[in-house]
Amino acid sequence: MEAAERLLDLVIALSHTQRWMTKRQIRTQVHGYADAASAEAFERMFERDKDLLREMGVPLVVAHDPLHEDDIGYRIDAAGYTLPPVSFTAAEIGVLSLAAELWQDASLRSPANRGMTKLRAVAPAADPVAHAGLALRVRGPEEAFAPLLAAIDARQPVTFTYRAASTGAVARRTVEPWRILSRNRGWYLVGRDVDRAAPRAFRLSRIQGRVRSTGAPGSFAVPADVDVAALLERSTPRAGTARLAVLPERGAALRARGRSGPPPSPTGPLTDRDVVVVPFADLEDLAEELATYAEAVLVLDPPELREAVLRRLRAVARLDQEAPRG
């Protein structure tokens, strides 16, 4: 039996005993201790477990029989091991929900969701839009990463739909993939664009849909003299600055990394909003973030950022219109 499982069984047994448990009772009734090869091995195992419980803050109590002082027993002080009632305000539940979202793409997703479900059942509901845009995200590489890596290993051309950073135009590309690299918090594919007969770099986040293999494995060789730095320099998006009209008390994440700008025209329609100037490294990444704020954040400049946000919102609206009604 694993040590952690044995410790758990020991805690359960000592928490529910009527008076206390002697060592003999622990060895015969608690799972895991019967595996000890001898009395000496049991003693060593039990002493280690007692030390571990005390290190974890479990209130282990040692008791002596008043008639037989040599008969030592053990129990756990239930009063010292019971948690007080758990109570959270709606604002605290909102913050805990943000923390739980950190694990949405990790191995702790299920426990985090179960814990939040239990807390929401006994606490006031959080305002669903109070923390819009503050979600913490742990994201791995884009979906295109794995099939591209397999194609690189097989030396096999691929095809995919790609949205150009400069124009926003969407086109089908056929590429001989050479390498995948990370630059400026993004993943890039470097390879030969077959249709243009020239080396190119493609940001994985701009690949739309599935990556499909085409052609035979081993059908090309990777050149040794590729200037990867120059390719990435041409493909890496230029930094820019966005002017945003933000509702009061909203967009905390944007305000934290931006600065206040000149207020809107006193005669315009946005007098109830603050202007926040936010620098960005990738226009499309910022557009993806701003779309989560919906009407709370409006893009004033640049126009291409406004269009990128609207493109995402229109896509969501189409999905809603196409969804079957119950």
Mean residue pLDDT across the chain: 80
- For residues 279-296, give the mean pLDDT: 85
Helix (H), strand (E) at residue 233: helix 228-235
Q: Tell me, what's the pLDDT at 115?
A: 73
CATH numeric code, 145-235? 2.30.30
| Cα three-residue angle 241-268-294, rounded to 5 degrees | 55
**pLDDT tens for residues 183-199?**
766 788 999 999 989 99
Top-confidence residue, 290 or 281: 290
Range picked from 17-31, 107-121, 254-268 for highest mean pLDDT: 17-31
- For residues 266-294, give the mean pLDDT: 83
Q: Tell me, what's the pLDDT at 172?
A: 94
Domain residue limits, the chain: 3-81, 85-139, 145-235, 240-322
Q: Tell me, what's the pLDDT at 138?
A: 47
Among residues 94, 92, 89, 115, the alpha carbon closest in space to that of 103 is found at 115
Helix (H), strand (E) at residue 322: helix 303-322
> DSSP character for 124?
P
**pLDDT tens for residues 73-127?**
898 887 776 667 777 777 777 777 777 766 655 555 677 777 777 676 666 665 5
The whole-angstrom separation of Cα 263 and Cα 268 is: 10
Q: Check whether 280 has a pLDDT greater than 70.
A: yes
**pLDDT tens for residues 148-192?**
999 999 999 999 999 876 666 789 999 999 999 887 667 889 999
Q: Which fold has domain 3-81?
A: Arc Repressor Mutant, subunit A (1.10.10)
Q: Which of 121-130, 143-152, 255-264 has the lowest mean pLDDT?
A: 121-130
| pLDDT-above-90 percentage for the chain | 20
Q: Tell me, what's the pLDDT at 184?
A: 67
**pLDDT tens for residues 214-251?**
988 999 998 888 887 777 776 666 668 999 999 988 88
pTM beyond cutoff 0.75: no
| Cα three-residue angle 157-161-166, rounded to 5 degrees | 115
- For residues 15-39, give the mean pLDDT: 87
Paired strand residues for 22: 73
**pLDDT tens for residues 28-66?**
999 888 888 898 999 999 999 988 888 888 888 888 766
Q: Tell me, what's the pLDDT at 319?
A: 73
Q: Tell me, what's the pLDDT at 55?
A: 83
